[in-house]
Structure 1
Amino acid sequence: MIPLSVLDLAPVRAGGTVPQALRETLDLARRAEEAGYRRYWLAEHHLAPGVASSAPQVLIGAVAAATSRIRVGSGAVQTGHWTPLAVVEQFGTLDALFPGRIDLGLGRSGQRRAETRAPGTGTAAPRRGREVVDGLLIPEPFDQSRLAKSPVVKLFGALLQQPGAEPPDFAGVVDEIAALLDGSYRSPEGYEAHAIPGEHADVELWILGSSGGQSAQVAGERGLPFAANYHVAPSNVLEAVEAYRAAFKPSPVLDEPYVVVSADVVVAPTDEEARELAAPYPLWVHSIRSRLAAIPYPSPADAATHHWGPDDWDLVADRVDTQFTGSPATVAAGLETLRRVTGADELLITTITHDHADRVRSYELLARAWGS
């Protein structure tokens, strides 16, 4: 079986606190290591009452200190909010403290969104409408333009970037980070710069993406490993992995493509119990897509009292329908389908429940069923 890894947002539960959420992340990381998960990634989210992982670089250090073997990293650094030098120095410091265990995952959040596709690199046409591909549900694409029109987007930009800042192109950011890491950085005028810590740090560089656009293209052309987000943008996952493989060129890092695919999962001893634990998930996703900020994760009892209208379900249907929920056998079978259809070399599991013990048990049950 291919390896399983963890993607954690340090969720804050309804009625809980941020310190509690961070302590639970450290506990889950220790349990994930014991269960045999390969890596533990922390997301970067801002201004969300229900997510405590807003400073993953800090949290990565705490998780690495609380564990001993599991790889720890970012899933992903929002490169539009950081300079390449700041990223390399931060992760170089982490590598100096925890050598050989740090992953540096990069994402395009905060960047200019214009897509670039070189001719012939995007072989898969964007999918439209709901379909089942060899047993895997590919839902109708969610209309992201709804989010882009929100006035909150402008507020986020004002708070996360310096006044007048213009993020450079993502490909250029990746190249600068790679050059600072390997010590080959030269300015356009020919001047050298050396990141200390950071230069020659033993970190794994990753690209995360939600479509077959620039992220997949950059990862492939530079021969880097790629993580495709089925849990965030399930309608685009096949386009993303196919575009990455089409663009791939061997590099000193990889001889052939390496793909991680993410999945949203809730496991319990029975299908019925798992469905109950997952009942708050639609309400939580709705908060992200209607307010651009995750609410504290509701309890199943709170979710049961919420009234849903047709327009509400339109906001969440793609993600709710593609969540893997059930007994260990049920979820393992679903994840095997995801692996087979996408050709994933590794699966990245994200699980959120209201009760921490249920979340830990979900990961442990899955690991045993998967054979980690």
Structure 2
Amino acid sequence: MTVPLSILDLSPLVSGGTARDALRRTLDLARRAEQFGYHRYWVAEHHLTPGVASSQPAVLLGQIAAVTERIRLGSGALQTGFLTPLAALEQFGLLDALHPGRFDLGLGRSAQRRTSALAEPPPPPAEARVVDGLLIPKHFDFTPILRSARSALYGKLLKQPGAEPLDLDDVVGDLQTLIAGPYTDDEGNEAHAVPGEGADLQLWILGSSGGESAQVAGARGLPFAANYHVAPAKVLEAVDAYRAAFKPSEVLAEPHVMVSADVVVAEDDETARRLATPYGLWVRSIRAGGGAIPFPSEQEAAAQPLSEQDRELVADRLDTQFVGTPAAVAEKLETLRRVTGADELLVTTMTYDHADRVRSFRLLAEQWLG
């Protein structure tokens, strides 16, 4: 069964490169993705991260929309802890007004919002297992990173003093009310989001577990994107929780799931493995709590081999990255689709050289889409 294939782009910097370089590569890749036949092109939201230039999705999506014509564009995901629902809708309403009917407003909880929910220590991670051919690794515990002094500093810089993020369900409810318009208080006062009211947007919720995000997406009858490429241990928990909570809505009669994966594709396995060599060092920089570094070159990665302790730190990500020929990676993606029951797949690729990254997406599209 062939399902739609889409791209998630972080606008990654590479070692020795600049944010300007990274953003220009994003514009080029988006144009090519449209030519290759990808269904959606989503950009991430990451702040204060040395190796990622995608910090303001709406601004970047406006630039991408100007150089593409048909491909759907979206946020993967807009962090709800740092914007009011009105501000988010005004941004995407403006995009829709200029490029009607092309945008997905993907929502995710911010790290600071998740931190506030951390009360009891998490249970010990379950052992890795294989489910019908799909590896479900041990869960990586992000709690120490989220509770770190660095995370607190980021929260201070990203939020207004004293501001408290809304629950995700309240955010979605306010967005839906503002889009339908008007927004009315208990005394009958009306507010209109301009632009935004009446916007032709698809609301999505992204999640990495069976918690609030999956449950709100299901209860609201919205499409849900489950995160295998960052939290592979909990992907089945996430999609199961979403489907269990699902209630039909005006948007969807049945659950609709998209699942993400990290891939590197090349003409042969040896080349693909070589291109993927820096990935472990890059993930280690995230897991160590300092944020993603600019993506290293293959030579830099070879000069800094992972220690046994480092390998343990990033094992779940390395072991679930799909690396190989077009046929081999497509087979792994099909396994992911089959086991999760995904209606769509979302792929992200990291390589040092832009040409290798473009080629990876092209080869995969030719294999997957025919």
Q: TM-score, normalised by structure 1?
A: 0.95
* Runs (4+) off by over 6 Å: none
- Residues in 2 aligned to 1:32 and 1:156: alpha-carbon distance in whole angstroms: 33
CA offset digits 1:33-75 (Å, max 9, x no partner): 0010001000000111110001111000001111000001100
Q: Give the fraction of aligned pairs with identical amino acids, expressed as a percent.
A: 65
- C-alpha spacing 1:100/1:40, structure 2 compared with 1 (3 Å): same
Equivalence for 1:233 = 231
- C-alpha spacing 1:219/1:199, structure 2 compared with 1 (3 Å): same
Equivalence for 1:323 = 321
Work out which of the residue numbers 118, 121, 136 in structure 1 matches 2:134. Answer: 136
Q: Which amino acid aligns with 2:149?
A: P
Work out which of the residue numbers 111, 114, 126 in structure 1 matches 2:113. Answer: 111
- Residues in 1 aligned to 2:234 and 2:15: alpha-carbon distance in whole angstroms: 31
What SS does structure 2 have at the residue aligned with 1:111?
helix
Task: State yes or no: 1:159 paired with 2:172.
Answer: no
What SS does structure 1 have at the residue aligned with 2:191?
coil
Equivalence for 1:267 = 265
- Residues in 1 aligned to 2:71 and 2:114: alpha-carbon distance in whole angstroms: 34
Q: Where does structure 1 lack aligned partners over 5 or more consecutive residues? A: 117-124
Check conservation: 2:115, 2:146, Cα contact below 8 A.
no
Equivalence for 1:169 = 167
Give the drift of 1:147: 1.1
- Residues in 2 aligned to 1:60 and 1:220: alpha-carbon distance in whole angstroms: 27
Q: Which amino acid aligns with 2:220?
A: R
Give the drift of 1:202: 0.3
Task: State yes or no: 1:365 paired with 2:363.
Answer: yes
Give the drift of 1:140: 0.3
Equivalence for 1:119 = none
Summarize the alignment of residues 182-201 of structure 1 with structure 2, pairs less than 5 Å apart: 182-201=180-199
What SS does structure 1 have at the residue aligned with 2:288?
helix
Task: State yes or no: 1:30 paired with 2:63.
Answer: no
Give the drift of 1:188: 4.9
Q: Which amino acid aligns with 1:228?
A: A
Equivalence for 2:215 = 217
- Residues in 1 aligned to 2:330 and 2:124: alpha-carbon distance in whole angstroms: 28
Summarize the alignment of residues 54-69 of structure 1 with structure 2, pairs less than 5 Å apart: 54-69=55-70
What SS does structure 2 have at the residue aligned with 1:291?
coil
- Residues in 2 aligned to 1:113 and 1:170: alpha-carbon distance in whole angstroms: 14
Give the drift of 1:91: 0.3
- C-alpha spacing 1:134/1:115, structure 2 compared with 1 (3 Å): farther
Q: Which amino acid aligns with 1:269?
A: E
Task: State yes or no: 1:310 paired with 2:308.
Answer: yes
Give the drift of 1:8: 0.2
Task: State yes or no: 1:11 paired with 2:9.
Answer: no
What SS does structure 2 have at the residue aligned with 1:303?
helix
Task: State yes or no: 1:145 paired with 2:147.
Answer: no
Give the drift of 1:187: 3.0
Give the drift of 1:313: 1.7
- Residues in 2 aligned to 1:200 and 1:69: alpha-carbon distance in whole angstroms: 21
Equivalence for 2:275 = 277
- Residues in 2 aligned to 1:113 and 1:171: alpha-carbon distance in whole angstroms: 17
What SS does structure 2 have at the residue aligned with 1:262?
strand
- C-alpha spacing 1:134/1:188, structure 2 compared with 1 (3 Å): farther
Check conservation: 2:115, 2:147, Cα contact below 8 A.
no
Equivalence for 1:70 = 71
- C-alpha spacing 1:153/1:171, structure 2 compared with 1 (3 Å): same
Check conservation: 1:287, 1:293, Cα contact below 8 A.
yes
Q: Which amino acid aligns with 2:354?
A: H
- Residues in 2 aligned to 1:27 and 1:17: alpha-carbon distance in whole angstroms: 16
Superposition RMSD on alpha carbons, in Å?
1.6
Q: TM-score, normalised by structure 2?
A: 0.96
Give the drift of 1:288: 1.0
- Residues in 2 aligned to 1:35 and 1:281: alpha-carbon distance in whole angstroms: 25
CA offset digits 1:146-181 (Å, max 9, x no partner): 212321111000100011111121111111111111
Check conservation: 2:217, 2:224, Cα contact below 8 A.
yes
Check conservation: 2:204, 2:225, Cα contact below 8 A.
yes
Check conservation: 1:126, 1:239, Cα contact below 8 A.
no
Q: Which amino acid aligns with 2:334?
A: E
What SS does structure 2 have at the residue aligned with 1:2?
coil
